[in-house]
Amino acid sequence: MSQQPRSSSTASNDNWRAGLRPPPRDDRPQTEDVKATKGIEFEDMFLRRELLMGIFEAGFDKPSPIQEESIPMALTKRDILARAKNGTGKTAAFVIPSLQQVDVTKNKIQALVLVPTRELALQTSQVCKNLGKHMGIQVMVTTGGTTLKDDILRLSETVHVLVGTPGRILDLAGKSVADLSECPIFVMDEADKLLSPEFAPVMEQLLTYLPKDRQVMLFSATFPIIVKDFKDKHMNSPFEINLMDELTLRGVTQYYAFVEERQKVHCLNTLFSKLQINQSIIFCNSTNRVELLAKKVTELGYSCFYSHAKMLQSHRNRVFHDFRNGVCRNLVCSDLLTRGIDIQAVNVVINFDLPKNSETYLHRIGRSGRFGHLGLAINLVTYEDRFNLYKIEQELGTEIQPIPHIIDKGLYVAPGAVDEPAGQKPAPQQTQQQQLAQPQQPAPARQQQQQPRGPPPSQQQLQQQQTVYQTNGQPAPRQNGGAGQGAARGYPGAGPAGGRPQAPPVAQR
Ligand SMILES: Nc1ncnc2c1ncn2[C@@H]1O[C@H](COP(=O)(O)OP(=O)(O)OP(=O)(O)O)[C@@H](O)[C@H]1O
Ligand SMILES: [Mg+2]
């Protein structure tokens, strides 16, 4: 590991921490998913001071369990295969050791980070930039859906860390524009997705452009059996970390509402009126259904964006950016945003359509309850879904309970916001901005993991449990109204409500 010149005058000051500007402290309670640490400090990891400065300025006081396990081992250059729950800090677990190993005096790509989606690439590159901001490290993000020419120009300048989606990076490597011949670090985030048939051949080809003695690091919350082949073929006695003795997050409470297909929109309307949603992500199983639902939600008068893979990349980027910045309360999307996306203000995930497999389910509900905080996952389940619901519960070893008439706000709302009336409020732009700008303070986390339950309930049982969320053909009375027609816009078309970004709902690290 080469020693770097110090890039900041603050670095030579013994009192270097005093000069840092971390975000306001997030004092929300956290679950054991991130608190069950051994007590190692970032300062104990022999990291460069400039890197420590970036870490503390991102608001990271102490490493999470996956960071404690992975960073010291990754610094020995050993291959890593790591599995940890959603939202527990896997990104920094591979970004920190990667940045530490970069020699900024060398004009070469020294770490390649692959992710399955463009939005995740943007987010991950931002983490690299934030954590490495005092190091003088040059980070480049490259994805499909943008012009190759811009990438070629950018690569003629210095790039130390390259983050991107596999297809575009293979393109650049194949054209000898991206020189990976001296890149010693190869990271695959959401590795199981990158090893699915859709991406696996590209990954194989990409590896041929790297040196033989590279360090390979694989991270995900889900590692199905397909990963084994890759491990045997391309990894050198990897250090295996598995922090998932249980799979679901302790802070996320899961419910299902039994509905008929035609009742789903009405049920969603009822949920909007009853729940105290800070921000929500609503998943559908097809792009067509995303657009149809977003239209319905907008017609109901709620503020809503949508995103899916068939949209223009520039629109996708704008939705992602604006939703992250709290411009809009609800986002309807496809599985494009199922993995890795980190928006701390999301406290409710709704599966408008139940996903087909348990991995997708786990990643989707993991969009709430980030970094050990509280969240709610609600599944709209039809009679046809009942066996799939049961299968998901069995495979994940979790319990998805029938939705109660009243959901305890303490399960998903910050203590400071619990007294606010439920339901989404009419949203003059200013009101929404002020409200979203308040950091949320969830109640103490639920620590008990529930036990798997018996076989799927009968239709009669389901119907008895679900009366309140079913339609009678009439719209549900709204407790607090929607966002107001003026503020409720789908996307693209009229553009986001109010049209201008607002302060993040909580400090986005
Ligand atoms: N040590 C830390 N202290 C405080 N916050 C942290 C720390 N590490 C990560 N975080 C924050 O936790 C959130 C979740 O991190 P991250 O996105 O890396 O999770 P993940 O494990 O990759 O989740 P997923 O499986 O969904 O991809 C981010 O907002 C990140 O800034
Ligand atoms: Mg991640």
| Contact in structure between 338 and 190 (CB atoms under 8 Å) | no
Q: Please tell me whether the peptide bond between 492 and the residue prior to it is cis, using omega within 30 degrees of 0.
A: yes
List pLDDT tens digits, range 98-150: 999 999 999 999 999 999 999 999 999 999 999 999 999 999 999 998 999 99
Task: Determine the average pLDDT of the residues in 159-176.
Answer: 97
- Higher pLDDT: 19 or 220? It is 220
Mutate to test the pocket of ligand 1, among 371, 373, 440, 508 (most ligand atoms within 8 A of CB): 371
Compute the distance between CA of residue 17 and CA of residue 356 in angstroms, rounded to an integer: 48
Q: What are the φ/ψ torsions at residue 278 (nearest 5 degrees)?
A: -80, -60
Compute the distance between CA of residue 228 and CA of residue 107 in angstroms, rounded to an integer: 35
List pLDDT tens digits, range 195-253: 999 999 999 999 999 999 999 999 999 986 778 999 999 999 999 999 998 999 999 99
- Higher pLDDT: 263 or 459? It is 263
Ligand 2 centroid–CA 340 distance in Å is 4
Asked whether the predicted pLDDT for residue 169 surpasses 80, the reply is yes
Q: What is the pLDDT of residue 12?
A: 53
| Contact in structure between 461 and 393 (CB atoms under 8 Å) | no
**What is the residue type of 97?**
P
Q: Which residue stretches of 101-245 are H helix?
A: 118-131, 148-155, 166-174, 191-194, 200-207, 226-234
- Higher pLDDT: 462 or 353? It is 353
Indicate if 252-465 has the same CATH topology as 22-242.
yes
| Contact in structure between 4 and 52 (CB atoms under 8 Å) | no
DSSP per residue over 354-380, as a string? --SSHHHHHHHHTTSSGGG--EEEEEE
Q: Which residues pair with 350 in a beta bridge?
A: 282, 378
Compute the distance between CA of residue 22 and CA of residue 58 in angstroms, rounded to an integer: 6
Sign of the torsion angle spanned by Cα atoms 472, 473, 474, 475:
positive
**What is the residue type of 431?**
T
List pLDDT tens digits, range 38-60: 999 999 999 999 999 999 999 99
Domain 252-465 superfamily per CATH = P-loop containing nucleotide triphosphate hydrolases (3.40.50.300)
Average pLDDT of the chain, as a whole number: 83
Domain residue limits, the chain = 22-242, 252-465
Mutate to test the pocket of ligand 1, among 91, 114, 364 (most ligand atoms within 8 A of CB): 91
Ligand 1 centroid–CA 410 distance in Å is 23
Q: What is the pLDDT of residue 26?
A: 86
Residues 6+ apart with CB under 8 A from 378: 254, 255, 256, 257, 271, 348, 349, 350, 351, 403
| Contact in structure between 180 and 187 (CB atoms under 8 Å) | no
Percent of the chain with pLDDT over 70: 79
Task: Determine the average pLDDT of the residues in 71-79.
Answer: 98
Q: What is the pLDDT of residue 214?
A: 97
Which protein residue has the closest C-alpha to ligand 1 atom 2?
Answer: 60
Mutate to test the pocket of ligand 1, among 88, 129, 341, 373 (most ligand atoms within 8 A of CB): 88
- Higher pLDDT: 457 or 172? It is 172
> Which pair of tokens denotes residue 353?
């359509």
Which protein residue has the closest C-alpha to ligand 1 atom 16?
Answer: 89
Which protein residue has the closest C-alpha to ligand 1 atom 4?
Answer: 60
Residue 468 CA: distances (Å) to CA of 407, 457, 458: 12, 18, 18
Q: What is the pLDDT of residue 45?
A: 97
> Which pair of tokens denotes residue 245?
């003795």
Ligand 2 centroid–CA 458 distance in Å is 37
Three-state SS at 305: strand
**What is the residue type of 107?**
N
- Higher pLDDT: 503 or 383? It is 383
| Contact in structure between 165 and 115 (CB atoms under 8 Å) | yes
Which protein residue has the closest C-alpha to ligand 1 atom 10?
Answer: 89
Q: Which residue stretches of 36-165 are H helix?
A: 49-57, 65-75, 90-100, 118-131, 148-155
Domain 22-242 top-level CATH class: alpha beta
> Which pair of tokens denotes residue 1?
């590991």
Which protein residue has the closest C-alpha to ligand 1 atom 23?
Answer: 87
Ligand 2 centroid–CA 337 distance in Å is 12
| Residue position matching structure tokens 């003695």 | 213
Residue 28 CA: distances (Å) to CA of 55, 278, 373, 450: 20, 14, 7, 23
Ligand 2 centroid–CA 223 distance in Å is 14
Percent of the chain with pLDDT over 90: 74
Nearest residue to 279 via CA among 360, 341, 220? 341
Ligand 1 centroid–CA 82 distance in Å is 14
Q: What is the pLDDT of residue 335?
A: 96
| Residue position matching structure tokens 């223009």 | 312
Ligand 1 centroid–CA 91 distance in Å is 6
Q: What is the pLDDT of residue 18?
A: 86
Query: pLDDT category, 419, cuts 50, 70, 90?
Result: low
In the structure, which protein residues have their CB atom closer than 6 angstroms to any atom of ligand 1? 59-60, 62-64, 67, 84, 86-92, 221, 340, 342, 344, 366, 370-371, 509
List pLDDT tens digits, range 256-265: 999 999 999 9
Q: How many helices and strands (H and E) does the chain possess?
A: 17, 14
Nearest residue to 114 via CA among 42, 30, 2, 214? 214
List pLDDT tens digits, range 268-317: 999 999 999 999 999 999 999 999 999 999 999 998 999 999 999 999 99
Query: pLDDT category, 442, cuts 50, 70, 90?
Result: very low
The secondary element (H helix, E strand) that includes residue 413 is: none
Sign of the torsion angle spanned by Cα atoms 463, 466, 467, 473:
negative
